[in-house]
Structure 1
Amino acid sequence: MTGGEAGRVVVFAPSPVLTVAIEDRGGQPDVHVHAGGQGVWQARMVQALGVPVILCAALGGETGRVLRHLVADEGIDVVHVDGAFSNGAYVHDRRSGERVTIAEGPGDVLPRHTMDELYGLTVTEALNAAVAILSGPVSAEVPDQVYERLAADLSGNGSLVVADLSGTRLAAALAGGLAVLKVSHEELGLDGTDVPALAREMARLRQAGAGTVIVSRAELPALLLTPEGLSEVRMPRMAVADPRGAGDSMTAGIAAGLARGLAVPEAVRVGAAAGALNVTRRGLGTGDPGAIAKLTTRVVLHALDATPVPEPAQVTTPEELAANLTPQGTDDGAGR
């Protein structure tokens, strides 16, 4: 697999959100303000792994102005579009040990000209990078066609496109063509323990446009399907502090590995280690690079005999493919 400039990842994150979390600290409220959303969490993990990353996002209104500074303060380069809209925000109270939603603002729908400008900025940045990650919107509606066009334009010009999407957006991105697709068994509407059924669906996703398919299965080992066959991604179990964001950290780790020039199996090992370590922390998309590197050596790709036999190639429209996927309201990366 080849890409653009080595060691650089671009993340398409159309609608980051402002997050406020209230923790307990010695019986007193401890308030934390961060940038959030699937694309932000992915960019944060890529940056934590020492790989330069650029976040392409729409940032508008008061929430957008705060988000721009928060992301930049983390050392993540931001290329953004401003306009007459506002990003979403939420307030969570976690003092009880559980997440209790106090307030949540959905954010505004992105105007068409804003979406067009963000598309152009993303293409410009991604064509000069090794890897592009397509993440889903948290609040703003983004037309499915944007994902198909991005996947097609970037893949067609030599970029490695990694997607972590669901529903009709996933179907559209597949129609455009992907180097790597990461998805969970819940998003496929399948039992995580039914390996033969998952293997058949993974083969169908490869036929639909993904070069490599990774299916996460919650606490079970992820499955990896490449042209060489089906493997189980095995690694040590970790005590879970917060399962949210594990899938996004896995996607980010894979992208970071590919940007470093690693082959897909090695990049998947990095992603598995990043996802596993993230569940031991309460910060989404966070992790110590040294710990991830050590944990990577413990990840084993175990070949399975249940390698699917692809069915005869057939033309499948994005609408037909989406009909077989579990609908998802937003791609927030939680708990995948």
Structure 2
Amino acid sequence: MMLRLAMLAGLPALLLSALASADTRALDRDWFFTDGEPAFRLHWPLEQTDSGWRVVIDKPDGTLFFKSQVADPEAVLLLHNRNRRGAFTYYHANGQVELEGHYDDQGRITGQSIFYWNNGNAREIRDYLPEGYQVVKAFHEDGSLAMEALPDKGERTDRAKYYREDGSLRSRIYTRPAEKGGLADVRLNYDPRGNIVARVEANDDVQISETLKNGHLVERLTFDRAGTWSLRERFNEDGDLIRQDRNLLPDYQRDGEQIFVTDEGVRRVSHYRKGKQHGASSSRRGDTWLAQGFYRDDQPVGRWFRVDEDTGEVTVIRYDDEGKFLGRYRIGADLVVHDEDGKPMAPAALREVERSLPPGR
């Protein structure tokens, strides 16, 4: 008898559970009705209101996920965006509002929508237009301002500022007319003290990224938007170029003029074509020539010279057009003269001898 009473006592709970199950319909992840394991549950039947049919969707555990309305309760694609109307709200797992906005009469999000952190603070405010949306403001989780869109100013459009949680300016962006036509997008990054530490500008042809230190340009990286070449330049504190690397992408083959300045102040310049040395190769300290030669398809050709900085002696080496070594000789420091470009060479009398030297060492 006691067992029967216990079973009868549990019957109302079972009936309530069955009724609750009948009040929802299972949805898959794309919000289509399903007979399988539900990813969401739609409150059913829909309730008619003055402005449409109310939609309430829960997660399988019963926590509220979404609220809005639909225009046609018998639509095949019942929950498709095109059928949604009016105000809508998404919810975080803890019950806090995640997103609230409004659908127009075609099911498009329109006007202002607000995203929220799960602590209830606003996260992002967007203005929706038919062609897309603009972020008007954004906030850090603690409620401090993270970003604000600014009105156009002169030729600068799409202006915005970004902030750190302590309120310091992190970056500014804007769009301006490019020098060769079209538009250029510009981004300036700041350190916490307000100094510019990076600048990025991109137009239809190239993107240029610059790194600054203590107000001085220390590196510039340029690459074309088609992804065919890149150019990296590095500068010292005086603004002098100390390294230049130009490469063909995507394999980073050296191409064009390459520059490297050693710690001792020697400036080395070489030229490449599709990964092979091709053209002049030289070393200079200030205006003083230390070496020069020429390459053709990675082979040394023609007349080369090298200066011994300790003794002032000049070594001259000759190659034929195929890169074959022809010979070398040395010019003592007391005999060295210089041409109009400052390059060392032998006196006129010795140059006549040089032209008649046979191959050899």
Q: TM-score over 0.5 for the alignment? A: no
Q: What TM-score results when the alignment is normalised by the length of structure 2?
A: 0.23
Q: Which has the higher strand share?
A: 2
Question: Higher Cα Rg: structure 1 or 2?
Answer: 2
